[in-house]
């Protein structure tokens, strides 16, 4: 259990605080990201009418910034792809065998699921079985939800019958649905499962916590053959393994050939962003499937049980708990996951939007982090300022950049009045903007190339038309980054601004 002075590590929203003063401070931090986004958007609209010349120069400057940023990110994407291909060619088990203490390392796999079909679970388990790390060093916890009903229990028993005997230990847990203070979701389920594993397996066997690496991800995550040996090698060679999270690259391509074009573009764009982040470790936090030391997990009292974005929150909890002495390192090694797929195109599009909004709800970590910075005086100021900038700039860009580029850039022409439209600046603004955006869109060629390089083997029944579609689909990017990027991101920040807190939405899995 955490000490009383670390109470802020368990906060999820302003109402959790008993002190009116602290509640107001936390609430101000909740308002901040959305306020910055809306001030930017409304400010551009207002100044397009009141000071169109100012906004015209701002738009041109911002477009230049966007072109430079596109070049910068494209360079990182290229470097990340090369590094990932290099990592895949390495014989990690051979490198690991040179470390004399590697047989002492156990892997605890926490696999929470809700109502996913047995086929999804089976494919993920088979990928683990096919990996090269010894299975007699793996403790697997299949974490079911009581609220999902009896069918889920039958699915868990089916998987146990097929795979349990292949691991060192196998445990099925059922997360209760009536625990006060918990939010129904992945975080609360994962925490229940890990605590049960600690109580029933790890502590009775007296396995040292620092000798256990915990992996927790979505149930559709399929590991590549050398994932665990790669992870173990990183764990044994990093400077401070128990104060480090280990982040692979989530590649959303399990069902990419079956998914519609909208889903493919959004999913692959997400993969690209995570690849880019691997090349910027100073900005890297945890996302989706990741790993950390069991010691660190126990120290911070496991994942949060009362919030949505537990996958990133666990990183921020550790950063605050260890007084800033915590980091996430890029593995540059992939794991594969599902893209959104539903029975109809419209339902798929709706699910894509909901998933992006849920990811955008990661903005709830901003007030948590900023409030923690106020409470923890031991964290160096340079670390506080660094992460403050990274978080605010990241969420501000998410909610505003696409809107500024594709919607608001033309406003001075419509709101600036006759006198502005008679100026040379008014005449050149659309031409300059169009030229700069054309240059920026050249980056789509690179996206198309790398998306095809990441594709799994073409399944039977797919022809040349399907292959061409994988390239042509990238003309949808201006639409997807606006409708499935900026808008759900802005909605999430607006909900937080208004105190309309979100619950956990489970992404449906369909084969």
3-state secondary structure 208-232: CHHHEEEEECCCCCEECCCHHHHHH
Structural domain range at position 263? 101-272+281-341
CA neighbor of 125 nearest in space, from 175, 170, 94, 84: 170
Contacts of 232 (CB under 8 A, 6+ apart): 96, 102, 105, 107, 133, 213
The model carries a pTM of: 0.94
The pLDDT score that the predictor gives to residue 373 is 98
Whether 393 is covered by a domain: the verdict is no
Whether 148 is covered by a domain: the verdict is yes
Q: Quick check: helix, strand or coil at residue 138?
A: strand
Reply yes or no on whether the pLDDT at 281 is more than 90: yes
The pLDDT tens digits of the residues spanning 49-70 come to 999 999 889 988 988 998 898 8
**Mean of the pLDDT values across residues 107-135?**
96
User: 339, 261 in Cβ contact below 8 A?
Assistant: no
CA distance 256 to 265: 10
The pLDDT score that the predictor gives to residue 511 is 57
Whether 250 is covered by a domain: the verdict is yes
Whether 313 is covered by a domain: the verdict is yes
Pairing of strands 290-293, 244-251: antiparallel
The pLDDT tens digits of the residues spanning 167-200 come to 999 999 999 988 988 888 899 999 999 999 999 9
CA distance 68 to 198: 49
CATH number (domain holding residue 198):
3.90.550.10
- At 433, the pLDDT band (50, 70, 90 cuts) reads confident
Select the more confidently predicted residue: 418 or 152: 152
Q: Which phi and psi angles does 476 have, rounded to 5°?
A: -80, -10
Q: To the nearest whole number, what is the mean pLDDT of the chain? A: 93
The pLDDT score that the predictor gives to residue 415 is 87
Distances in Å between the Cα of 265 and the Cα atoms of 333, 454, 467 are 21, 13, 14
- At 507, the pLDDT band (50, 70, 90 cuts) reads confident
Whether 458 is covered by a domain: the verdict is no
Whether 472 is covered by a domain: the verdict is no
The pLDDT score that the predictor gives to residue 469 is 86
Reply yes or no on whether the pLDDT at 85 is more than 90: yes
Number of domains, the chain: 1
The pLDDT score that the predictor gives to residue 391 is 97
Residue 337 structure tokens: 């996951």
Q: How many helices (H) and strands (E) does the chain have?
A: 21, 8
CA neighbor of 403 nearest in space, from 479, 477, 482, 480: 482
CA neighbor of 496 nearest in space, from 307, 310, 352, 284: 307
**What share of the chain in percent tops pLDDT 70?**
99
- At 240, the pLDDT band (50, 70, 90 cuts) reads very high
Alpha-carbon dihedral sign for residues 311, 316, 319, 323: negative
Torsion, CA 367, CA 370, CA 372, CA 374, rounded to 10: -130
Whether 178 is covered by a domain: the verdict is yes
The pLDDT tens digits of the residues spanning 7-47 come to 999 999 999 999 999 999 999 999 999 999 999 999 999 99
- At 416, the pLDDT band (50, 70, 90 cuts) reads confident
Torsion, CA 380, CA 382, CA 384, CA 389, rounded to 10: 180
Whether 326 is covered by a domain: the verdict is yes
């Amino acid at each position: 259990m955490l000490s009383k002075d670390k109470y802020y590590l368990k906060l999820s929203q302003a109402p959790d605080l008993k002190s009116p003063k602290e509640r107001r401070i936390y609430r101000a931090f909740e308002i901040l990201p959305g306020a910055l986004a809306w001030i930017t958007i409304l400010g551009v609209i207002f100044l397009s009418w009141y000071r169109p010349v100012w906004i015209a120069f701002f738009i041109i400057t911002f477009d230049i910034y966007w072109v430079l940023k596109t070049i910068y990110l494209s360079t990182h994407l290229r470097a990340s792809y090369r590094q990932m291909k290099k990592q895949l060619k390495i014989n990690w088990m051979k490198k690991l065998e040179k470390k004399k203490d590697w047989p002492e390392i156990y892997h605890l796999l926490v696999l929470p699921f809700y109502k996913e079909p047995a086929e999804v679970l089976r494919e993920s388990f088979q990928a683990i079985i096919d990996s090269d790390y010894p299975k007699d060093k793996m403790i697997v916890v299949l974490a079911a939800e009581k609220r999902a009903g009896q069918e889920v229990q039958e699915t868990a028993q089916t998987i146990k019958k097929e795979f349990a005997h292949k691991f060192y230990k196998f445990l099925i847990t059922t997360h209760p649905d009536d625990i006060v203070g918990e939010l129904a979701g992945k975080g609360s389920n994962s925490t229940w499962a890990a605590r049960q594993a600690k109580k029933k397996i790890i502590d009775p066997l007296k396995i040292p916590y620092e000798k256990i690496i915990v992996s927790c991800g979505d149930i559709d995550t399929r590991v590549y053959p050398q994932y665990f040996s790669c992870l173990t090698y990183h764990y044994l060679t990093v400077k401070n393994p128990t104060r480090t999270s280990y982040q692979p690259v989530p590649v959303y391509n399990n069902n990419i050939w079956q998914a519609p074009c909208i889903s493919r573009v959004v999913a692959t764009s997400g993969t690209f962003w995570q690849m880019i982040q691997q090349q910027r470790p100073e900005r890297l936090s945890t996302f989706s499937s990741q790993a950390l030391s069991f010691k660190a997990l126990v120290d911070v009292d496991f994942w949060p049980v009362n919030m949505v974005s537990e996958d990133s929150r666990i990183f921020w909890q550790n950063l605050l708990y260890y007084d800033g002495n915590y980091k996430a390192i890029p593995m540059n090694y992939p794991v594969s996951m599902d893209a959104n797929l539903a029975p109809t195109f419209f339902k798929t599009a709706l699910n894509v939007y909901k998933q992006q909004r849920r990811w955008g709800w990661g903005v709830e970590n901003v007030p948590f982090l900023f409030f923690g910075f106020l409470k923890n005086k031991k964290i160096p100021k340079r670390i506080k300022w660094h992460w403050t900038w990274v978080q605010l700039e990241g969420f501000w860009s998410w909610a505003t950049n696409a809107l500024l580029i594709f919607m608001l850039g033309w406003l001075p022409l419509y709101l600036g009045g006759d006198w502005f439209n008679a100026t040379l600046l008014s005449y050149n603004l659309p031409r300059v903007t169009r030229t700069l955006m054309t240059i920026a869109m050249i980056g789509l060629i690179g996206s198309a190339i790398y998306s095809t390089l990441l594709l799994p083997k073409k399944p039977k029944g797919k022809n040349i038309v399907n292959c061409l579609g994988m390239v042509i689909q990238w003309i949808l990017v201006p639409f997807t980054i606006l409708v499935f990027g900026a808008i759900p991101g802005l909605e999430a920040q607006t909900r937080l601004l208004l105190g309309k807190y979100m619950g956990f939405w489970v992404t449906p899995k369909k084969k």
